[in-house]
Structure 1
Amino acid sequence: MVTTMTDVNILQESHDFSEIILSSDVFNNYIAIKKQVQRNAEAQKMLKHFDGLKEKYEEVQRFGKYHPDFKQITSEVREYKRKLDTYPLIAEYKESEKELENMLNEVSQIIAHAVSTQIKVPTGNAFFDQSSSCGGGCGSGGSCGCG
């Protein structure tokens, strides 16, 4: 394989760009809150409990509504998920995670559209996906009519 100076320049610019993202306030805030969650005993206890509930839920899902504990486990998972999502530190973590995701989605859109406006970037974000003729992430290979 022959490497050209253009390839080297693109790689260097990609590296420089990743360094900019890694030094951003959004990324640093995400990492700081993630570390807080990892060190917080109560948050870790809640997350471990939720993992156990998810395992039970997955087992129940194998049989669906015919499993004798379907309603109880499903309800328990939903209630505990709500409790987990409203725990202040975890809520702050999820918010920082969403902020980082939004930044990365926006960067992906900018890069893709710098190459061609025809490039579909599945962001999972309606704000960004509205700019394309399809949701971007339909995954149907164009059978939805998006090209």
Structure 2
Amino acid sequence: MIGTIEYAEILDRSEQLGKMIMESEVMEAYRQSKIALLEDKEAQKLIQAFADMKSHYDDIQRFGRYHPDYNIIMKKVRAAKREMDMNEKVAAFKMAERNVQRLLDEICLHVAQSVSSQIKVPIEGAALTDTGCGHGGSCGCAS
């Protein structure tokens, strides 16, 4: 069992790590892109249009392909998403968001491997990168 002093020290160090992450360049870029996104009226209009179209999509999902408006709604949802994703502020925000996720994944993997190479760490988007499977290399991958 972890002693109380050891436990408190671990919590203190994890709090320090959290502060370091919050003060990092990656987080600053994320905050700036989020502010820019929230202040951009065109981006907000596109996000709202996609959200509205998505609610129609959710309504027809109960019936799936058998709903009379299924194909029309599906096309409109894809078009609204594509238009939203092509917006410069939305794209910059999504990139900053992925960078934060990558940083957090790397930290989790490093902490887990420092404890044991047998610890499995789920990594967001691991299928899209060559960071390995999250098993710390124990399976023979290039983790």
Given the two structures, how large is their TM-score scaled by the length of structure 1? Answer: 0.84
Aligned to 2:52: 52
SS in 1 for 2:101: helix
Gap regions ≥5 residues in structure 1:
134-147
Q: AA paired with 2:79?
A: E
Deviations 1:63-120 (A, max 9, x none): 0000001001011111111111111111011011111111111111111111111111
Equivalent position amino acid for 2:25 in 1? D
Query: Does residue 130 of the first structure (1) align with residue 133 of the second (2)?
Result: yes
TM-score w.r.t. the length of structure 2 is 0.87
Identity over aligned residues, as a percent? Answer: 33
Distance 1:83 1:105 in 2: 29
**3-state SS in 2 of match to 1:128:** coil
Q: Does the 8 Å contact 1:122/1:129 carry over to 2?
A: no
Letter in 1 for 2:114: A
Matched pairs, number:
133
* Gap regions ≥5 residues in structure 2: none
Paired residues for 1:87-126 under 5 Å: 87-124=87-124, 125-126=126-127
| Aligned position for 1:142 | none
Q: How far did residue 131 of structure 1 move?
A: 5.2
Counterpart CA distance in 1 for 2:3 and 2:115 is 21
How far did residue 4 of structure 1 move?
A: 1.4
Tell me the C-alpha RMSD between the 2 structures: 1.7
Structure 1 consecutive aligned stretches of length 4 or more whose deviation exceeds 2 Å? 126-133
Q: 1:24 to 1:79 in 2, by over 3 A?
A: same
